[in-house]
């Protein structure tokens, strides 16, 4: 790959002149522009070493290093993600994440104590968690975007706390009332909350997606799930009647059922994995393709089949290697996802402006960052 | 003198500008070919961000400016000049070499092993001692009511049979000089079958099915003694606390709390916990075995009882009394050895 040389300043200049040519030809084809692919230059070996050192230091320090580990992992993934010759940057301070971890840790200890001493109040703690969840999601999105930058311009999350409560507390409450009909709409609103509120410097993103598309995606998942349950029940019924005919002893019968359940479990796992990847690919492609950053557009072209093969081989590798291949798997998946993401723009990437933002309060610096939002970048 | 090429960003716009960076022993200077950029700062004023893999290095300048350079050797030399960042430089050194990484792998495995085998059981025992009896009582009663709803029906044993078992239990408890206030709970459970449970506060549940399975009073006594051991040694509370400990370890290893619920976290947790429960079963068997030997019956009644239980659960391993099938033979073997070691 040519990525090692792309970042050299002398070679980033010709790229700019290419863009000027693209601008002149723009009049004929208004939809086209220069395509800049995302590149991922991370390597499994390097990432494995970082992962191992993180694991060791986290254990030896009794979990304190986890905050530094998170920053080092993120920094590795960000700085090895390149666009038009320049790398992304993750600039969060580990101490802010440590604060967040300590708060979460205290919460978990409190939960265990309440569970042990006053089990009747359990429901209240779970309720409290539901109530603060939208706040935590909002904080987490703000934190992670604020400390992500590209070409020394920070990203920003412009969504409001009120919108977070509507999206993550209000809508889920309506799900049982509407018999689940609004689930795709809820997915749409969650994506909209993220994609419509992202900003790069002063340039805010707009998400033009519509809820209808999510109904298509989820409809297919539903059909698949229902037919799966149906097939599984038929298969299981057939198997039992077959076995009852041939097997005389109860012992053999029991063992066969155990095997049948195990095979069934793997089949279900396979189909669930397929559904997850399908959902991820369809949602991800749609959301990126419907998002604009000023005149700049995104293009994501992931394939369900490819991502499924990557996921399944990754799972197999992780199990066979007793977890040692987790970093390899992560790099492989990240590479596939990023290398299928492009931006299309007819102007140069040189023209974005930084936003003037006041520094957040000390409380705002606390990373409420323990839900791994899979949003790409 | 250190010189290298870099890309400069002013922090106001996303414009990338090629510069040449020089270091004269005190100042860092940046020059662009067209002469538009002429900057000079003390190295002390600049922040060299830690290295990460083979990615280009970023150096922060005052007023939100920064530059990026792919000349990793030059920036590393500059980093040595600046002197700071020692911790992260050491970490990056570890991350860049395979041998120390192998050491980290071995060290991590050793730490986890030691923590799981020694620290968690030790801490759980200490913590179990610190938990006040009232708490134990409420927890136990709550557990029993949950079990009643889900698995149990009222016992169908005759009143005389119950009194006989009560009396038998009292003699065992007296002989063992127990510390707890015990309460026997009789239940029928076609769902669970022959089994017995001990709840932390001293409630011992025995199913009608296990009473029927026992061939004689001695076999029943062996089960009761085994369950008394679970209570006396606080196995119930300790396993709850150990569960919390394993939860903590897995969450540290997995990196965050949410991943515990995923399948990757479940298997190791189950393996570790079945190891713990095997240890407790062995301990309770030994306790019961000593009691039986003390009564002059030998460990045969418990061995027979285990054999019968194994036969009554042909395929599906049940919890509590029989943690898993092949273990039964091991437990019987242990009891046999225990008896031999007691022969004068
Ligand atoms: Zn037991």
**pLDDT tier at A18, thresholds 50, 70, 90:** very low
- What is the bridge-based pairing of β-strands B183-188 and B203-207? parallel
**Domain residue limits at B37:** 2-96
Radius of gyration of chain B (CA): 33
Q: Do A352 and B56 touch (CB under 8 A)?
A: no
Residue A12 is nearest to which of B18, B98, B258, comparing CB atoms?
A: B18
**Chain A contact set for B54 (CB, 8 A):** 4, 41, 43, 46
The CATH code of the domain that includes B178 is 3.30.2010.10
Is residue A364 one of the residues assigned to a domain?
Answer: yes
Specify the pLDDT at position A247.
52
Min CA distance, B13 vs chain A (Å)?
Answer: 4
Domain membership of residue A86 (yes or no) is yes
Question: What mean pLDDT comes out for the span A148-171?
Answer: 91
Report the percentage of chain A scoring pLDDT > 70.
81
Q: Do B190 and B320 share a domain, yes or no?
A: yes
What's the domain count of chain B? 2
pLDDT (0 to 100) of residue A20: 38
**Is A237 a residue whose pLDDT tops 60?**
yes
Residues B189, B90 share a domain: no
Gap between the Cα atoms of A45 and B102, Å rounded: 12
pLDDT at A160: 92
Task: Write out chain B residues lying below 8 Å of A76, CB-based.
Answer: 52-53, 55
Provide the residue count of chain B: 344
Any domain includes B319: yes
Closest CA to B165 of B203, B196, B206, B198: B206
Q: Which of A58, A68, A104 sits opposite B252 (nearest CB)?
A: A58
Same domain as B89, residue B220: no
Per-residue pLDDT tens over the stretch A259-311: 777 777 777 778 888 888 999 999 999 999 999 988 899 999 999 999 999 99
Give the model's pLDDT for residue B151.
Answer: 84
Taking 60 as the threshold, does the pLDDT of residue A80 lie above it? yes
Residue B102 lies in a domain: no
Q: B256: which 2 tokens?
A: 């965050």
Domain boundary among B96, B121, B149: B96
Q: Do B182 and B89 lie in a common domain?
A: no
Q: Same domain, yes or no, for B88 and B214?
A: no
What's the total number of domains in chain A? 1
Q: A254 to chain B, minimum CA–CA distance in Å? A: 6
Question: What is the value of ipTM here, to two decimals?
Answer: 0.76
In DSSP terms, which residues pair with A154 in a beta bridge? A149
B176 and B229 in a common domain: yes
Q: Are residues B264 and B299 in the same domain?
A: yes
Chain A, residues 150-189, CB within 8 A of chain B, namely: 150-153
Nearest-CA residue of chain A relative to B249?
Answer: A59
Q: Kindly state whether residue A214 falls inside one of the protein's structural domains.
A: no
B171 and B46: one domain? Answer: no
Q: Does A217 fall in a domain? A: no
Specify if A316 maps to a domain: no
**Shared-domain flag, residues B222 and B170:** yes
Q: B101 lies in a domain?
A: no
Query: Which range of residues forms the domain containing residue A355?
Result: 1-19+33-201+351-377
Higher-confidence position of A136 and A31: A136
A282 contact partners, CB below 8 Å, separation of at least 6: A217, A304
The low-confidence residues of chain B, meaning pLDDT below 50, are: 256-261, 315-325
B57 and B122 assigned to the same domain: no
Parallel, antiparallel, or unpaired for β B203-207 and A86-90? unpaired
Best residue of A56, A104, A243 to probe chain B, by most B CBs closer than 10 Å: A56
- Distance between CA atoms of B12 and B32, rounded to whole angstroms? 17
Whichever domain contains B73, its CATH number is 2.30.29.30
Domain end point (choices B63, B96, B129): B96
| Residue A213 resides in a domain | no
To the nearest whole Å, the CA of A67 is away from the closest chain B CA by: 9
Asked if the structure places residue A158 within a domain, the reply is: yes
Looking at the fold, whether B137 and B256 belong to one and the same domain comes out as yes
> What's the gap in Å between the CA of A87 and the closest CA on chain B?
8
CB within 8 Å: B70 and A8 = yes
CA distance B42 to B40: 7
Confidence of residue A22 (pLDDT cuts 50, 70, 90): very low
Q: Taking all residues of chain A, what is their mean pLDDT, rounded to a whole number? A: 80
Q: Is there a contact between A43 and B53 if contact means CB atoms under 8 Å apart?
A: yes
Whether residues B264 and B161 share a domain: the answer is yes
Averaged over A165-174, what is the pLDDT?
91
- Examine residue B329 and state whether it is found in any structural domain, yes or no: yes
In degrees and rounded to multiples of 5, residue B318 shows phi and psi of -95, 165
State the count of interchain CB pairs (< 8 A) between A and B: 164
- pLDDT score at A369: 53
**Is residue A41 within 8 Å of B55, Cβ to Cβ?**
yes
Whether A376 maps to a domain, the answer reads yes
Q: End of a domain among B66, B96, B126?
A: B96
């Amino acid at each position: 790959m040519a990525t090692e040389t792309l970042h050299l300043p002398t070679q980033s200049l010709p790229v700019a002149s290419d863009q000027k040519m693209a601008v002149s030809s723009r009049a004929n084809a208004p939809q086209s522009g220069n395509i800049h692919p995302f590149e991922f230059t991370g390597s499994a070996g390097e990432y494995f070493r970082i992962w191992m050192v993180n694991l060791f230091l986290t254990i030896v320090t009794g979990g304190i290093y986890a905050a530094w580990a998170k920053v080092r992992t993120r920094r590795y993934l960000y700085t090895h993600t390149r666009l038009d010759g320049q790398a992304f940057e993750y600039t969060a301070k580990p101490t802010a994440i440590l604060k967040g971890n300590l708060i979460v840790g205290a919460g978990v200890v409190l939960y265990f104590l309440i569970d042990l001493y006053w089990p009747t109040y359990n429901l209240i703690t779970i309720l409290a968690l539901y109530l603060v969840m939208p706040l935590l999601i909002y904080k987490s999105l703000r934190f992670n975007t604020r400390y992500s930058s590209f070409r020394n311009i920070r990203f920003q999350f412009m969504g409001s706390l009120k919108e977070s409560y509507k999206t993550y507390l209000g809508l889920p409450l309506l799900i049982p009332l509407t018999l689940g009909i609004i689930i795709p709409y809820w997915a749409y609103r969650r994506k909209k909350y993220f994609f419509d509120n992202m900003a790069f410097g002063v340039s805010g993103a707009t998400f033009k997606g519509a809820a209808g598309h999510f109904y298509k995606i989820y409809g297919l998942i539903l059909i698949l799930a229902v037919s799966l349950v149906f097939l599984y029940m038929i298969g299981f019924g057939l198997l039992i009647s077959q076995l009852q005919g041939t097997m005389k002893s109860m012992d053999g019968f029991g063992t066969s059922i155990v095997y049948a359940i195990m095979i069934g479990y793997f089949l279900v796992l396979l189909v669930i994995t397929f559904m997850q990847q399908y959902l991820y690919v369809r949602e991800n492609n749609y959301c990126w393709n419907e998002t604009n950053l000023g005149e700049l557009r995104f293009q994501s072209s992931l394939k369900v089949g490819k991502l499924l093969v990557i996921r399944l081989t990754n799972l197999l590798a992780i199990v066979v290697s007793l977890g040692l291949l987790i970093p390899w798997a992560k790099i492989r998946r990240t590479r596939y996802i990023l290398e299928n993401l492009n931006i299309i723009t007819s102007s140069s990437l040189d023209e974005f402006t930084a936003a003037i933002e006041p520094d957040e309060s000390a409380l705002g610096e606390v990373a409420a960052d323990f839900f791994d939002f899979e949003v790409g970048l | 003198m250190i010189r290298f090429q870099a890309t400069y960003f002013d922090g106001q716009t996303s414009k990338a500008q090629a510069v040449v960076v020089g270091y004269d022993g005190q100042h860092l200077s940046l020059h662009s070919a067209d002469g538009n950029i002429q900057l000079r700062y003390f190295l002390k004023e600049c922040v060299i961000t830690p290295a990460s893999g083979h990615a280009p290095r970023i150096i922060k300048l005052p007023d939100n400016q920064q530059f990026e350079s792919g000349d990793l050797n030059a920036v590393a030399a500059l980093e040595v000049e600046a002197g700071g960042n020692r911790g992260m430089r050491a970490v990056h050194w570890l991350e860049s070499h395979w041998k120390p990484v192998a050491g980290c792998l071995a060290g991590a495995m050793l730490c986890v092993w030691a923590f799981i085998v020694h620290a968690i059981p030790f801490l759980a025992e200490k913590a179990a001692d610190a938990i006040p009896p009232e708490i134990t009582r409420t927890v136990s009663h709550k557990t029993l009511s949950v079990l009643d709803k889900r698995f149990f029906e009222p016992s169908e044993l005759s009143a005389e049979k119950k009194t006989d078992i009560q009396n038998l239990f009292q003699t065992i408890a007296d002989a063992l000089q127990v510390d707890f206030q015990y309460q026997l709970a009789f239940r029928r459970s076609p769902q669970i079958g022959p089994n017995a449970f001990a709840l932390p506060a001293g409630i011992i549940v025995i199913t009608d099915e296990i009473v029927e399975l026992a061939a004689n009073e001695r076999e029943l006594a062996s089960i009761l003694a085994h369950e008394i051991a679970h209570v006396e040694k606080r196995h119930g509370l300790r396993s709850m606390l150990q569960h919390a400990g394993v939860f903590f370890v897995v969450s540290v290893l997995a990196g965050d709390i949410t991943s515990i619920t995923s399948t990757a976290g479940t298997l190791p947790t189950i393996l570790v916990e079945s190891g713990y429960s095997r240890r407790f079963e062995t301990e309770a068997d030994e306790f019961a075995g000593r009691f039986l030997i003390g009564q002059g019956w030998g460990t045969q009644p418990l061995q027979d009882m285990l054999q019968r239980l194994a036969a009554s659960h042909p395929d599906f391993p049940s919890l509590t009394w029989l943690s898993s099938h092949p273990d039964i033979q091991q437990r019987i073997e242990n009891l046999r050895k225990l008896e031999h070691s007691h022969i004068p």
